[in-house]
Every structure is written in structure tokens, then in C-alpha cells.
Amino acid sequence: MYFEKISNKRTFATHNNIIIMGRAFEFRKGRKMKRWSAMAKAFTRIGKDIVMAVKEGGPNPEANSRLRAVIQNSKAANMPKENVERAIKKATDKDTANYKEVLFEGYAPHGIAILVETATDNNNRTVANVRSFFNKCNGTMGTQGSVEFMFDHTCNFRIPANGMDPEELELELIDFGAEEVFEDEDGILIYAPFNSFGTIQKELETRGIEILSSGFERIPQITKKLTEAEVADVEKLIEKLEEDDDVMNVYHTMEEEASS
């Protein structure tokens, strides 16, 4: 693998395959984080993540990398420590229902692909709710795999800048799966394919680099520009979906203006 910089974009090449990186940066810059704007909803979602992490790997963060990541995210969301401890204790109760992660796919009006990530303890309820939102907002529920291929499933980490050079860090983390590293007002962001999460998490921890938060996102490969009226049609569906307690994230292929 070799590395070079072309017109302020990083290009990675393996054999004959050349990929110009930059979509993660544009996605992060333009994405509207309405989902996490309400603190109460953020805490609810972190609580679900804690339950799933504990059910999967146990209540000890030292031995459970997924739980470690959720606890880091709880700190980034300013979730009180006692809330986290209470959620971990509740998750260890065998009577506490586990949440199943279910992905829904479909189309909003004007040909915009929609991916809906949910965490549910009642799949029938969630299916019915999501289908009703699509129907009421002139969208169409799709079958499994109908639009998922239009998005890249990525993982990300936020670390303190602490005078680090993002380009040097990117070069150091290439072999661990990192594809894009850039700085914003809240630190340095590292993006990589979904399956590189554990490898990068371990490397950052080995280096003693604090992980402020981490997570997963689905970045659209191609976006579509709409008129103001068409945007309103799509946002109506997105807002309905995001209001549902079972919905964790909604991704779409509509072009968004960069947030200031």
C-alpha cells in the first residue's frame, strides 16, 4: 500500500484500486444530529446500548470492549455516573429483556433511500410503527438489502487533539484500518470500516490515547440534491421515524447543506 496527497485529498492505493477519501469528513460536516439533541433521548439510547453490551459480554468494562465504548459515550453525553451504574446493574438482571438490533430499509418521496437502525424488545411493534411512518409520509418500505448497499458501514472514534497531527496519525493507523482522520472543534475524528472497530479501539488503548466517544455510522455513497419543497417531504418522514423510541438512527441519501 502506498500513500500520497493529491489536491488536499488523501489517496490510498492497493494494487489497481484507488480510493479518494473525504466522504466521511463531508458526511460529518453536513449531518444534522437532531437525533441526539434531546438529552433525555440520548440517555435512553445509551441505556439500551448498555443493556445490549452487558447481555453480550458481561458487566465488567475491563473485559467487555463494547461496554467500555458505551461508557465512554455516556461521558461524552454528560450522562450521570449513577445512571450508568444503575443501567449496568439492571442489565444483569435475568428478567431484563434484551434488545434486538433490526435494520429497516425503504424509500422516502423523491427517490431518497432510507436506512433505519432500531433496537427493540418487541419486533412486531417496531415493524408496525416503521411501516406506518413510511405509508403516512408517501414512502415505501423495502425488502432486506434493497438500499443497504448504497451506504458504507463505518466505525468512528473521537480523541483529544492534544497537539497531534491528523495526517501523521492517519499514516500510523492505516495498517489498523483507518481510512480518514481529520480534526474539528471537538477533537480528532478517525473513520474506518465497520469491522475495524475492535482493532483500532485496542491500538488507541495500547497507545494510551483517550477515546472520548466512538460509534458506527452509515455514510451514503451518493447523495441526491432536492428542492426546498422536496426536502420538506423527506424530512417529514425522517422526523416521524426519529420520534419513535425504538429508532436509534436514520440515514438517507438526501444531500444536506453543511451545518455552520
* pLDDT string in tens for the chain (260-residue length): 333 433 344 444 444 443 445 778 777 765 544 444 455 678 888 999 999 999 999 999 999 999 999 999 999 888 999 999 999 999 999 888 899 999 999 999 999 999 999 999 999 999 999 999 999 999 999 999 999 999 999 999 999 998 899 999 999 999 999 999 999 888 999 999 999 999 999 999 999 999 999 999 999 999 999 999 999 999 999 999 999 999 999 999 999 875 44
| 213-220 β-sheet, strand order | 180-184, 187-193, 151-159, 213-220
Q: Pairing mode, if any, of strands 17-20 and 9-14?
A: antiparallel
The cell numbers describing 118, all together, are: 432500531
Q: What pTM was computed for the model?
A: 0.82
Location of each CATH 3.30.70.980 domain in the chain: 99-260
Alpha-helix residue ranges (DSSP H) falling in the chain: 23-30, 39-57, 65-76, 81-91, 123-136, 166-173, 197-206, 228-243
Q: In this structure, which amino acid lies at residue 256?
A: E
Q: Note the CATH architecture for domain 99-260.
A: 2-Layer Sandwich (3.30)
The size of the chain, in residues, is 260
Greatest CA separation for the chain: 57
Start-end ranges of CATH 1.10.10.200 in the chain?
Answer: 35-91
Q: What pLDDT is recorded for position 59?
A: 95
CATH 1.10.10.200 describes domain 35-91 = yes
